[in-house]
Amino acid sequence: MTIPNTEPGPAERPGAAPAARPAPGASVDGGVTVIGAGIVGVNCALALARDGHRVTLVDRLEPGEFCSFGNAGILSVWSFVPIFGPEVLMNVPKWLIDPKGPLTIRWTRLPQILPWLLRMLPKASTAHIKHAAQAMHHLTADCAENYAKLAAEAGAPELVRLHPVLQVYETEAEFEKTDRDLQFRATYGIKYDRLDRAALHDLEPDLSDRFPFGHALLGGGTAANPGRLVKVLAEEFRKRGGTLFKGEVRRLRQLEGGGVMVETDAGDVRAERLVIAAGAFSHRLSRDLGDRFPLGTERGYHAVFADPGVRVSHAVGWKARAFFATPMEVGLRCAGTVELAGHDAAPDFKRAEIIARHAKTMFPGIKGEMTSKWMGFRPTLPDSMPVIGPSDRVPGVYYAFGHQHVGLICGPATGRVIADLVQGRVPNFDISAFRAGRF
């Protein structure tokens, strides 16, 4: 499925790793095969290659060309608490009647998404939030430093910037509410500073005066170009002997002697062991193997100002509007919010236009109109946690998907877990909360 956007195509982006596309009808021995060349799949493939496995990475697009391409690039070690909790549930009615709010539902798609939504409701509890946070913090810890090491080893250290990320608020009530939440995260080692108007102005002189309160979130950073980061890591994977196979997966077929045949429009790939890391479409593949997952999608949008005319030194998030403005190689990328519309509906780029207007409110000096827009899928399971681990049905099959808003952040840790499992090692933290059989 192609999602239209106005960003430059793969040939115009630096750092792309070319993918092999055999003649139709050809077949290859894929060794350990990973489906999905987004940030999670590439991290899995690279970790497996580092362990000495013969690895084939399969996708119909070049690495980093889907959801991993257009995110806000925030390497937020603090993002281990699920977004969908009691507070969000209480705010849903208010947000839905606000056309500029952080959440919208495509009502014509409600019959398709309602079963998934109903499965989420029981998880909007304080008890589940604490349970999920305890599991998820292992995936987010040290993500910024891990990416800095990976990017440096791949020859592109400029792609990871280790610096504070800012969140700003219009009212003291919003500020204090978030401060209480950060106090909880601090029990897991998260560090932050409270900022007043003067401190915010010192850090970001072009920020609007309507934000008198803020936090500096420490220990993280940003990706200067998330899509190029995926490509650079994919190229490092290729240099380590990995194979990039470009083809659209049509069907998975379990083989009698063991392994799985991955049938694509470019030929078949015989996988001794298989990792499914295809983001929001992973459940369609797992069905071929008898594993069914209630995977939904939260759509996110971005707007880019290639030459914004303002100086922005840090990623700055407007908490109440649920988006970040991040300085990147491509300009100022403003990304976030949530649209619920399922997998198949066309993008509604009015959402990108709303984000662009919010960005101009946050930074009044922004000139001109957005120069590109984009929509991507966040793969979300009802309990706001990914599936990471082996299939309960098919030996040698592993899952790594459903990371919701934190796929970029959880990529390195997820890759290490998958490599441990394939190698027969015990991961260095308890992954039972992510087991496939919990659904």
**Domain boundaries of the chain, sorted by first residue:** 21-85+125-161+220-294+381-439
Portion of the chain with pLDDT greater than 70, in percent: 94
Structure confidence by residue, pLDDT tens digits, 206-232:
999 999 999 999 999 999 999 999 999
Going by pLDDT thresholds of 50, 70 and 90, the confidence category of residue 6 is: very low
Structure confidence by residue, pLDDT tens digits, 246-267:
999 999 999 998 999 999 999 9
Looking at the DSSP assignment, which residues form a beta bridge with residue 398?
275, 390
List Cβ neighbours of 390 (8 Å cut-off, separation of 6 or more).
397, 398, 399, 421, 436
pLDDT at 359 over 80: yes
Structure confidence by residue, pLDDT tens digits, 139-158:
999 999 999 999 999 999 99
Q: Is the dihedral of CA 376, 382, 387, 392 positive or negative?
A: negative
pLDDT at 3 over 50: no
Identity of the residue numbered 296: G
CA 263 to CA 149: how far, in whole Å? 35
Both tokens assigned to 36? 């999905």
List Cβ neighbours of 78 (8 Å cut-off, separation of 6 or more).
140, 182, 185, 190, 192, 217, 219, 220
Structure confidence by residue, pLDDT tens digits, 157-199:
999 999 999 999 999 999 999 999 999 999 999 999 999 999 9
List Cβ neighbours of 394 (8 Å cut-off, separation of 6 or more).
254, 260, 289, 290, 291
CA 398 to CA 168: how far, in whole Å? 40
pLDDT at 36 over 90: yes
Both tokens assigned to 417? 């877990």
CATH of 21-85+125-161+220-294+381-439, one of 3.10.310.70, 3.40.50.300, 3.50.50.60, 3.90.330.10: 3.50.50.60
Both tokens assigned to 110? 């409600």
Going by pLDDT thresholds of 50, 70 and 90, the confidence category of residue 133 is: very high
Structure confidence by residue, pLDDT tens digits, 373-420:
999 999 999 999 999 999 999 999 999 999 999 999 999 999 999 999
CA 378 to CA 414: how far, in whole Å? 16
Q: What is the pLDDT of residue 435?
A: 98
Looking at the DSSP assignment, which residues form a beta bridge with residue 276?
35, 399
One-character DSSP codes across 173-234: HHHHHHHHHHHHHHTTT-EEEEEEHHHHHHH-TTS-TT--EEEEEES-EEES-HHHHHHHHH
List Cβ neighbours of 107 (8 Å cut-off, separation of 6 or more).
none
More confident call, 14 vs 344: 344
Query: Mean pLDDT over residues 91-115, rounded?
Result: 88
CA 266 to CA 213: how far, in whole Å? 54
Q: What is the pLDDT of residue 299?
A: 95
Q: HSE-up of 98 (CA within 13 Å, CB side)?
A: 13
Identity of the residue numbered 118: L
Structure confidence by residue, pLDDT tens digits, 272-320:
999 999 999 999 999 999 999 999 999 999 999 999 999 999 999 999 9
One-character DSSP codes across 15-77: TPPP-B-PPTT-EEEEEEEEE--SHHHHHHHHHHHHTT--EEEEESS-TT-SGGGSS--EE-T
Q: What is the pLDDT of residue 8?
A: 41
